[in-house]
Amino acid sequence: MASASPRRRELLSALFDTFEVIVSNVDEEALFVTPAEEGAQRVAKAKALEVARIAPEALVIAADTAVVVDSAVLQKPADAKDARRMLRMLSGRTHKVVTAVAVAFQGRCHTAVEMTEVDFARMTDEQIRRYVATGEPMDKAGAYGIQGRASIFITGIRGCYFNVVGLPLHRLGVLLEEQGLDIWKGQPGERS
């Protein structure tokens, strides 16, 4: 897995008993373009290909997530002030979470994108301040973690929950199966 995200590692462990994490050094901000679907795919593919060069025999899985509200793309906040700005944008509104998944194996790299709509309750400035003070928003696209304390602000979701966490497992499973990879063997890289 080409990701430092503990949430993605936890989700991937639902599919594979064992795997290795090799974090890519891709400059995500420099590679990201809009629209978000294209930017996320570009970043996920770059991460997968970089790690595939390091471990050419491995099945490499990478992902990139962005949050989109209106036409604004929200990635990870730069600091607490930026996190508060993002949360004010999300407050009382519906936004989209876009995650691209890339799978590199045997010289090939395939990508897919998942989109989920998330409804946020209206948040007071005090709620935003206190949530940001927990530190939870700082390493997450859109400045929130649906699986953490921000869960109390989520009023609805349409689509894949795991996508919002950062790794759409169904989309990943389909992508692996389309390439003839058998996730049921429990061994990354084995062909069916």
Which amino acids are annotated catalytic?
64
Rg (CA), the chain: 17
Helix 80-90 with 125-133: angle, nearest 10 deg? 140
Closest alpha carbon to 99 in 177, 7, 191, 23: 7
Q: What are the b/e assignments for 8-24, b being 16+ CB within 10 Å?
A: beebbeebeeebeebeb
Is the distance from CB of 169 to CB of 180 less than 8 angstroms? no
**57 by DSSP, 3-state: which?**
coil
What does DSSP say about strands 94-105 and 60-69: parallel, antiparallel, or unpaired? Answer: antiparallel
From the list 57, 62, 87, 63, the residue with the least C-alpha distance to 74 is 87
Chain-centroid distance of CA 118 in Å reads 14
By the 10 Å C-beta count (0-12 exposed, 13-18 middle, 19+ buried), 45 is classed as: buried
